A and B are shown apart, each in its own frame.
Chain A
Amino acid sequence: MLAIENLKVEIDGKKILKGISLEVKAGEIHAIMGPNGSGKSTLAAVLAGREFAMVTEGTVTYMGKNLLDMPPEERSKEGIFLGFQYPIEIPGVSMVNFMKTAVNEHRKHKGLEPLSASDFLKMMRDKKELVEIDSKLANRSVNEGFSGGEKKKNEIFQMAMLEPELAILDETDSGLDIDALRIVANGVNRIKRPDTSAIVITHYQRLLDFIVPDVVHVLYDGRIVKTAGKELAHELEKKGYDWIKKEVDKNNLS
């Protein structure tokens, strides 16, 4: 589904990603972990098409197409969803209006008629139930005045509405209490279909108890320095990143 090949990215002339290669097959869940500032969000942003990060080398192929050539809204309509680490507030724009516009853009892309108002509202209701989100949130402006946890749940709600092929969730678990964590994880599991994939960026093993990854990567200083099965997450939880950093630094020296 997604193939990243030797991806190098700079921000303001500073090298942030230093040659990332990663393949996500249909149906797989990949977890990406790694210390603060290692480049996880940058990778997510590049995949979603944010322009401040400049790709200097490498390729990204998504469903056989050159992803880096597509404008961000095209990527969204082709099935890439980014759950933001810091969801953006848009005062004055109601969630209903926002989602209706988004859903209908996606439908147009697929050659479908826009949903009628009543069908759309029914869809909203169903998805709210699916991800157990507070009904009232959907009547407010996009993320405006939402608590940290509410914003994260709202990301999952939007994901449920857009039914992506590839979901990239950037620390959707941060700032959630244990009940909210369960709700978010359940939501993700319910939305996932057998052939859709997810990249889950997280600092905590506990999320991966709910969303079980096929592969765990460690990103450090712009490189993927370790890839293994889900047991790697447990090890990191126990031992932290120091041992990996040491390993990497030692290799760099030799």
Chain B
Amino acid sequence: MGKDKDKIISEVTSGEYKYGFYSDIEMEQIPKGLSEDVVRIISKKKNEPDWLLEFRLKAFRHWQTMKMPEWANLIIPKINYQDIIFYSAPKQKAKYESIDDIDPELKKTFDKLGIPLEEQKHLAGVAVDAVMDSVSVKTTFRETLAESGIIFCSFSDAVKEYPDLVKRYMGTVVPYTDNFFASLNSAVFSDGSFCYIPKGVRCPMELSTYFRINAASTGQFERTLLVADEESYVSYLEGCTAPMRDENQLHAAIVEIIAENNAEVKYSTVQNWYPGDKNGKGGIFNFVTKRGLCRGENSKISWTQIETGSAITWKYPSCILKGDNSTGEFYSVAVVNNHQQADTGTKMIHIGKNTKSTIVSKGISAGQGQNSYRGLVKVLKNAMGARNYSQCDSLLLGDKCGAHTFPYIEVDNQTAIVEHEATTSKIGEDQIFYCNQRGISTEGAIGLIVNGYAREVINKLPMEFAVEAQKLLQISLEGSVG
């Protein structure tokens, strides 16, 4: 593009990461490094029962036998696990009984992020579990939800208050042996959210977890466990941000979902971890294992993700379609700009009869970003009548970025129908000029085109967050054409 346009574009590039601030909060931390002792310390800090410590230790010992996998289409600098702080929590009185007990600085932090911890200030109809570094600081609307029998609390509270539920479900979808980062998480996870929707209950509000990394040199290892009992429904959203730092920080989470007969779970993510600066310095390594088990008949799990942040994203929210007639969905928009890398996609494992899955992946690459879609559709022998439809689109802005597609299809049942479509397109200079000629600026044109491209996925988000996601897309692509 011409010089003038370059100039306009470079002026807009000043759009910085909005959530890069750091809050000065009194923290309780353990020294850097990882060992069996550290695992024990974490467990002790959380006053955990023996069975959970055992689980952690088994995971840790297993992790020690593992090697970092290298199959992803990513360039990952070596991670020194002895240089990471594995537990870091805002200092608190035993547990915040009321909102007044919370450190005002902490409240201010979440206010600034648009996540007020006071219920009356909150978006109507959204309950939040706010997690900073290693602990959950506040879960709103707990009592209101409890009236319909819904349990929504921090993972630590769940271990104390509902140990049987946690014991019954934890690790059943993502076993501690699953993969390198899942094992690591299982050993050192600190907090996260727990949610149980009882039989026949439609959760009356959106549930959400907001993850904030604050402290330097820490890793964040949270676990979310979401159980939807028979005939229940829940829509769940997670959001995340982190301060701007020159160092990389590791985030290795696990999300497990279980859907029983006729249950439906919608899980949405707006991932906006700090992506690093324009030269690729700093940013979060986002290595996450997310998996849902459609255990019951007619159950449904739907993943929607808007991935704009992180220096490196490596995640494959998946569905195991075990129950007959169960449905799995994956809708994804993944943006990479500057030096960001993403290797993301899904796995749909068809086990039950007449199971259906839909995959819609929209990759957007700008700057020198590298975006890979990696997806597995697997149909097992007994999955009569299984159906999958995959659509996998890539959009390129500029010519220094890349888009890659790695679809894997394994079908062991002849009645299965698996369809895969893929397209790659570029935002053309002629499209931008056409918009310009109608009075729309270049940034406006890119916003229109990108949001149009991603609309099918954005529309799957809960209303309250769709607008936010649109803005986020536009911001994360500012200055990306030139």
Contact = CB atoms under 8 A, between A and B. Distances in A.
A181 to B, nearest CB: 23
A82 interface: yes
Interface string A80-101: 0110100111111110011101
B438 A94 contact: no
A71 interface: yes
B452 A91 contact: yes
A114 to B, nearest CB: 13
Contacts of B448: 90, 93, 97-98, 101
B433 interface: yes
A105 B436 contact: no
Contacts of B441: 73, 105
A77 interface: yes
A76, A101, A158: residue with the most chain B Cβ atoms closer than 10 Å: A101
A92 B430 contact: no
Interface stretch (B1-9, B15-23, B350-358): B1-9
Contacts of A50: 433
Give the contact-size bracket for chain B: 20 to 34
B335 to A, nearest CB: 15
A51 B2 contact: yes
Nearest to A161: B438
Given A51-B4, A91-B425, A105 B452 contact: no
Given A101-B444, A141-B452, A90 B431 contact: yes
Contact of A106 (B1, B437, B439): B439
Nearest to A86: B430
Most chain-A Cβ atoms within 10 A of its Cβ — which of B4, B441, B452?
Answer: B452
Interface in B432-482: 433-442, 444, 448-449, 452-453, 455
A226 interface: no
Nearest to B428: A88
A109 B438 CA distance: 13
A92 B440 contact: no
A90 B444 contact: no
Given A51-B2, A88-B430, A91-B425, A71 B436 contact: yes
Contact of B438 (A89, A91, A102): A102
A48 interface: yes
Contact of A90 (B5, B434, B437, B455): B434
A93 B436 contact: no
Contact of A94 (B5, B428, B435, B452): B452
Contacts of A88: 428, 430-431, 433-434
A102 B441 CA distance: 9
A40 B34 CA distance: 72
Contacts of B433: 48, 50, 72, 88
A138 interface: no
Contacts of B425: 91
B4 A71 contact: yes
Contacts of A109: 439
A159 to B, nearest CB: 10
Nearest to B427: A90
Contacts of A97: 448, 452
A88 B442 CA distance: 15
A162 interface: yes
Contacts of B438: 76, 98-99, 102, 105, 158, 162
A213 interface: no
Contacts of A71: 4, 8, 436
B439 A87 contact: no
- Among B8, B425, B430, B436: residue with most chain A CB under 10 A: B436
Contacts of A39: none
B455 A92 contact: yes
A93 B452 contact: yes
By DSSP majority rule, is chain B's interface helix, strand, loop, or mixed? helix
B431 A77 contact: no
Contacts of B431: 88-90
B439 A162 contact: yes
Interface in A44-86: 48-51, 71-73, 75-77, 81-82, 84
A92 B1 contact: no
A89 B434 CA distance: 9
Interface centre among B5, B433, B442 (most CB of A within 10 A): B433
Interface in B284-312: none
Contact of B434 (A87, A106, A141): A87
Contacts of A99: 438
Contacts of A141: 452
Nearest to B423: A91
Contact of A102 (B2, B430, B440): B440
B436 to A, nearest CB: 4
B439 to A, nearest CB: 4
Interface centre among B435, B439, B455 (most CB of A within 10 A): B439
A84 B434 contact: yes
Contacts of A90: 431, 434-435, 448-449, 452
Find the residue from B2, B4, B434, B455 having the highest chain A CB count within 10 A. B434
Contacts of B1: 51
B459 to A, nearest CB: 12
Contacts of A106: 439
Interface string A108-142: 01000000000000000000000000000000011
Interface in B407-428: 425, 428
Contact of B452 (A87, A92, A158): A92
Contact of B449 (A51, A75, A93, A105): A93
Contact of B437 (A82, A91, A93, A142): A82
Given A73-B436, A101-B448, 17 more contacts: A48-B433, A72-B433, A73-B439, A73-B440, A75-B437, A76-B436, A87-B434, A90-B435, A91-B425, A93-B452, A97-B448, A97-B452, A98-B438, A105-B438, A105-B441, A106-B439, A162-B439
Interface of A: 48-51, 71-73, 75-77, 81-82, 84, 87-94, 97-99, 101-102, 105-106, 109, 141-142, 158, 162
Interface of B: 1-2, 4-5, 8, 425, 428, 430-431, 433-442, 444, 448-449, 452-453, 455
26 contacts: A48-B433, A49-B436, A51-B1, A51-B5, A71-B8, A72-B436, A73-B442, A75-B437, A76-B438, A77-B439, A84-B434, A84-B437, A88-B430, A88-B433, A90-B431, A93-B448, A93-B449, A98-B440, A98-B448, A101-B448, A102-B439, A102-B440, A105-B438, A105-B444, A106-B439, A109-B439
Which 5 interchain pairs have the tightest Cβ spacing? A92-B452, A93-B452, A51-B2, A72-B436, A102-B438
